[in-house]
Structure 1
Amino acid sequence: MRRVLLRVFFVLALPVLLVGVWWLASDGSTNVFWPPLRTTLKTFPDVWTADRLRDDVLPSLLRLTAGYACAAVVGVAIGTVIGSYRRVRAFCEPVLEFLRAVPPPVLVPVIMLFAGIGDTMKIAVIASGCVWPILLNTVEGVRAVDPVMAETARSYGISGVARLKDVVLRSASPQIFAGLRQALSIGIILMVISEMFAASNGIGFTVVQFQRSFAIPDMWTGILVLGLLGFLLSVVFQVVERRVLGWYHGLRASARRSP
């Protein structure tokens, strides 16, 4: 019980501190672009009603989920192939380095030319940015598979899909999840950016509409929604990671306890 309370404390301490600093720093502010936090919080329930959550937050989450899932599948699949074969890696590396250096927001107009302005464009923008940390971490994870483990699996006749699933991907999974974590924050950013272009709903679209109509407290509530969304998604990701990588965290804990 004590460990749970300590974990909750460490999770909430910094956010509570930052909110307190924001409250004190903005209290009494007369700047129209920097309203007091109490004004923003008072506006929040009036802006983010059940209808707005359904019409704006839910579509954003669906686009983020679709783009993130596509990036995960493509990144892990291609990264496994590249990491497994040295010649493929040498052939693809220059192209990967070139494409990785291109900022995903720059590709929004290009993607719009091919995918239009609907949900397909927004999903493609999210996927185009999320795929790189997943792919590159998968490559490094596959390359770092213990050669002794690989040779042992070969000696026992473990090959094909069984070797890929139980040896390669399992050994690379901590690195893959590191890429998935990085991609999640990138995906939230690109979700907002994609919704600022020719959109009719979504959190990014709503925040821009508030800004253009000079509803500044309403705009700040949208920023709070994005922060809360990022926090909740991070918590969900940690729960999934702990469950999938339970064996890995167990090994690390036992290694720390050993003399």
Structure 2
Amino acid sequence: MTTTTPGATAPLARTGARRRRRGGPLWQRVLLAVALPVVLIAAWWFTSAGSQSFFFPPLREIVTSFAPTWFEGRVFSDVLPSLGRLLTGYALALVVGIALGTAIGLSPTLRAYTEPVLEFFRAIPPPVLVPILMLFLGIGTTMRVFVIATGALWPILLNTVEGVRGIDEVLRDTSRVYRLGPAARLRTLVLRGASPQIVTGARQALSIAIILMVISEMFAARDGLGFSIVQFQRSFAIPEMWTGIILLGLIGVVLSLLFRAVERPVLAWYRGFRQSQRGGN
């Protein structure tokens, strides 16, 4: 009869617990991630195979026209300019949103004065501002970047305010006892403590920024993904129009993966803290 000591089984138990926390082995997580997209693509392929509709062509025809449409000049003339405006507006929203949100969250007086104004401007849909911004900023890149930044600002700003407000008062008192300077307190306590909600707002803002990128390029534009999709629709190039929609979805997936790659090290301390809490319970 074989006996197993508790010390020998402890590493196996810890490994199993870590796998359960991560959601299982890597191959299983990859399979779960790609299963639904594969099923949806297969369903689209077979249901549209015999389509005679002009506006809903077979997926085979759309896939065939994808490379000629985008990889023969449009990458540099339309895709890269769109991505440049998207990243510039998103970065601007991040900087302004985190800075203003931190200042408002730290000051109850400033929060009381600004909250009604913030709620008013948050309720205005950014696409409504496009005609107004065109009057003041023209129809160039500046207007489009401003539209993206304006719409992406609010999730970041409001989540930052709530994250800073929610920092434990005990931690604030501890930082005072240890006489941390303003810069060290801002870096190690305020921004770090509010980072889970800041990241949540940044994730929401990324989706909004992609939507506003397309919308801003549909107004008196000369390049960009939104401009190209509208031009395909107006010229009845329906397969090419569908390739633009698919390309937008692929860009969204890639940006989401990049966001997760940045989010993982930023919130590593938070995941470790949550795991230690679960382990303690």
TM-score of Structure 1 vs Structure 2, range by shorter chain:
over 0.9
Q: Are 1:80 and 1:139, in contact at CA under 8 Å, matched by a contact in 2?
A: yes
Given the alignment, which residue of 248, 255, 260 partners 1:233?
255
Instruction: Give the Å deviation of 1:8.
Output: 1.4
Q: Deviations over 1:47-105 (max 9, x none)?
A: 11152111111000000000000000010011111111111111111111110000000
Choose from 58, 72, 78 the match for 2:94: 72
One-letter identity of the residue aligned with 1:120: T
| Residues 88/23 of structure 1: CA separation in 2 closer, same or farther (3 Å cut) | same
- Number of the residue aligned with 2:244: 222
Name the count of aligned residue pairs.
259
Q: CA deviation at 1:21?
A: 2.1
Q: What secondary structure does 1:253 align onto? A: helix
Confirm or deny that 1:252 pairs with 2:274: yes
Higher Rg: 2
Structure 1 counterpart SS, 2:73 = helix
Residues in 2 aligned to 1:233 and 1:162: alpha-carbon distance in whole angstroms: 31
Deviation string, structure 1 residues 116-136 (Cα, Å, up to 9, x no partner):
111000000000100000000
- Tell me the TM-score normalised to structure 2 length: 0.89
Alpha-carbon distance in structure 1 between the residues aligned to 2:222 and 2:131 = 17
Q: 1:169 matched to which residue of 2?
A: 191
Aligned mates of 1:21, 1:179 — CA distance in 2: 34
Q: Hey, what's the Cα distance between the residues in 2 that align with 1:62 and 1:155?
A: 46
- In structure 2, the partner of 1:189 is 211
Report the counterpart of residue 118 of structure 1 in structure 2: 140
Deviation, structure 1 residue 243: 1.4
Q: Which residue of 2 aligns with 1:37?
A: 59
SS at 2:25's partner residue?
helix
**2:223 aligned residue (192, 201, 208):** 201
Q: Is 1:58 the equivalent of 2:118? A: no
Aligned with 1:88 (options 86, 102, 110):
110
Percent of pairs with identical residues = 59
Alpha-carbon RMSD? 1.3
Give the equivalent residue in structure 2 for 1:151: 173
Q: Which runs of 5+ in 1 are unaligned?
A: none
Aligned to 2:201: 179
Instruction: State the match for 2:128 in structure 1.
Output: 106
Q: Is contact 1:242–1:249 with CA below 8 Å preserved after alignment?
A: no
- Cα deviation for residue 10 of structure 1 reads 2.2
* Contact 1:78–1:135 (8 Å) recurs in 2: yes
How far is 1:256 from its partner?
Answer: 3.1
Equivalent residue in structure 2 for 1:140, among 149, 162, 165: 162
Distance 1:50 1:69 in 2: 29
